[in-house]
Amino acid sequence: MAHFHLAWELGGGLGHAGRLKMIAQALLARGHQVSLGLRDLGQTYNVLADLDVAKFQAPVWLHRTEGMPPNQASLAEVLLTCGYLEPRGLAGMVDGWRSLFTQLKPDLLVADYAPTAILAARTMGMRSASIGIAFSSPPPRQPLPCLRDWEGIPPQRLASAEARVLKVANGVLSHHRAAPFAWAADLLLGDAQLLNSWPELDQYGRPPSSVAWHGPLFLPSTGVKPQWPVGEGPLVFAYLRTVDPNHAAVLAALAREPCRVLCYLPEVAAGRAPPVMSPNIAYASGPVAMGDALAAAQLFVTHAGDSTAQALLAGVPVMMLPMQLEQFLTARRIAAAGMGVNTAALPPPSDWGKAVRHMLSTPDYAAAAQAFAARHAGYTAAKGAADMALTLEDLARVH
């Protein structure tokens, strides 16, 4: 029996917690010991409450880093804002991880966007494996790619950020007499890279044969049963957030077309007044059973988060309203494959009704999504987690 410590340090959302839970369950089913180091113990409680393993607060950077460009152009610039600007702060977080590892004595660190955990593991001679979506798992053995290739970011800016991150990280390694990293990407990849994605969704556009693709992991479909508006019109499932300034305009356009819209807005489910009142829109009282909703839907409207892969696996095209860089890059990739529309790339001001009509009247989007589903037919997140558990088991055994 091996002990696996599953760590999550950077990034938001429940996708990290759900992914770690599935891997933990698969490892536990094989008789192994599991512990978790989590960026957020509070928001993830409902997801992880029934997972009977030790859970710890991950050592994370709590301070605002001044003087950084607002348009972070690489993962190196992201890391600079998360404790990698100077050695002392990073050394403190590394000490926190080292204390945790000294107490737990894991055989393998499994890191989901957890570079400082990987760094700390290296100082102790502990093997590590990175998991997660493609965005946080860049290509190895090369400089970190530019994440804003449309902005003309000066190459020297990217190189300077990478050199700073590498110098600070290697300074900590030197202090602990550990071997230095050759590339800043090594901080995110560890000793082995396992991607929870597929080539069609890879923000970096890597060749399919270049890495091990394990498929996206998402929890089993639970939630309220879909209740669609009565009448005629295409069925559209919308999973949106009110922080997006366009959410009301998009819902109004869907209702006018007219579509029959099932909308899950977490804020409305929590008691806020609906942004658009229409007989063509039904607001869910809680998280919707995704599988049931997507089985009936002809279109999925989303911010291009973790649920996007579920829609494509169901053969449903997606209309995407990305709210941040990672989502934009995902939306751009899916749009390039013809499986949806990235509305952030539309010229302003957006004509939402025109965008909806275009998607519903263009069968190529559904055909591309259905082709994606056919290519990955037979895949389930449970199978993906079980396969990952076997791979992680082998990595722990090598140690």
Give the model confidence (pLDDT) of 182-207 as tens digits. Answer: 999 999 999 999 999 999 999 999 99
Q: What percentage of the chain carries pLDDT values higher than 90? A: 91
> How far is it, in rounded angstroms, from Cα 40 to Cα 44?
6
According to the model, what pLDDT value does residue 211 have?
Answer: 85
> Which domains can be identified in the chain, with CATH numbers?
3-215+380-398 (3.40.50.2000), 235-375 (3.40.50.2000)
Q: Is 101 left (phi over 0), alpha (psi -120 to 50) or beta?
A: alpha
Q: Which two tokens stand for residue 19?
A: 């992914």
Confidence of residue 398 (pLDDT cuts 50, 70, 90): low
- Please check the confidence at residue 399 and state whether its pLDDT lies above 60: no
Confidence of residue 19 (pLDDT cuts 50, 70, 90): very high
According to the model, what pLDDT value does residue 372 have?
Answer: 98
Give the model confidence (pLDDT) of 302-315 as tens digits. Answer: 999 989 999 999 99
Question: pTM for the whole thing?
Answer: 0.94
3-state secondary structure of 63: coil
Q: Which two tokens stand for residue 109?
A: 């660190």
Q: Which residues contact 384 (CB under 8 A, 6 or more apart)?
A: 22, 196, 214, 215, 216, 217
Interval 218-238 mean pLDDT: 92
According to the model, what pLDDT value does residue 350 have?
Answer: 84
Pairing state of beta strands 128-131 and 260-264? unpaired
Give the model confidence (pLDDT) of 375-392 as tens digits. Answer: 999 999 999 999 999 999
3-state secondary structure of 252: helix
Give the model confidence (pLDDT) of 64-105 as tens digits. Answer: 888 889 899 999 999 999 999 999 999 999 999 999 999 999
Q: Answer for the pair 107, 4: CB distance below 8 angstroms, yes or no.
A: yes
